[in-house]
Structure 1
Amino acid sequence: MNNRIEAADEKITAIIRRLNDELRQTFVGGAIRVTPSVIALGSKAQKAIVGKVRGFGAFDERNDPFGEHDFGAFDLDGEKVFFKIDYYNREMTAGSENPADQTVTTRVLTIMLAEDY
């Protein structure tokens, strides 16, 4: 691949990563979904999970192979928790054609237990 294409791809990935980090850290810039199994853990656990999602920084090749910061996993009191960011078109009827463009993308952050995945 030539250097110009690689640089463009890296720039797009950096934009997607920034938008994903903003949603994950602030819960602004998209929709937030929590599965019933997380809700069933109660408010104390939910608060701890939200704190861990917002502060998550353990991205590596295993959970973030494309460098977009769109998935993470951690343990909380014996429960394996996942979060995942998906990219949809504005109508939420299909995937986004350009996740780096906020004008055509709705981000959805889902927080779930591993058993929900």
Structure 2
Amino acid sequence: MITRGIAAMGDDAVQHILARVRSYDQFTAHNDPYQEHDFGSFLWGEVQVFWRWDYYDLDFSMHSPDPADDTVTARVLTVMLAEEY
């Protein structure tokens, strides 16, 4: 899922931003202390972009009871401008 702010940047920018999210590997002990790799941040030009994974139950009504279990978890990736967080 992308937010309105990301969508407003135009199709070309969206494609490049999504490629950066797919290839993101800048996890450190500082920005990923639990080694979950579920949040990232980078600059796109002068714009700060955030991305994050959320883990819901299969009805999307609450958090998953067990995020590691695919049979009870729906994962949603959201890409957003930092100001939209």
The answer to whether structure 1 residue 103 and structure 2 residue 71 are counterparts is yes
Question: What's the CA shift for 1:104?
Answer: 0.2
Identity of aligned residues (%): 45
**Greater helix proportion:** 1
TM-score of the pair, normalised by structure 2: 0.96
* Paired positions, count: 85
Deviations 1:48-94 (A, max 9, x none): 10110000000112321211110000001111000000100001000
TM-score of the pair, normalised by structure 1: 0.71
User: Which consecutive residues of structure 2, in runs of 5 or more, have no partner in the other structure?
Assistant: none
The answer to whether structure 1 residue 48 and structure 2 residue 22 are counterparts is no
Runs of 4+ in 1 over 6 A off after TM superposition: none
| 2:3 corresponds to which of 35, 51, 70 | 35
1:38-117 matched pairs, under 5 angstroms:
38-117=6-85
- Between the aligned partners of 2:74 and 2:52, the Cα distance in structure 1 is 14
Larger Rg: 1
- Between the aligned partners of 1:37 and 1:87, the Cα distance in structure 2 is 23
- Between the aligned partners of 2:36 and 2:57, the Cα distance in structure 1 is 18
User: Which consecutive residues of structure 1, in runs of 5 or more, have no partner in the other structure?
Assistant: 1-32
Tell me which amino acid in the other structure corresponds to 1:52: R
- Between the aligned partners of 1:82 and 1:62, the Cα distance in structure 2 is 16
- Between the aligned partners of 1:42 and 1:61, the Cα distance in structure 2 is 33
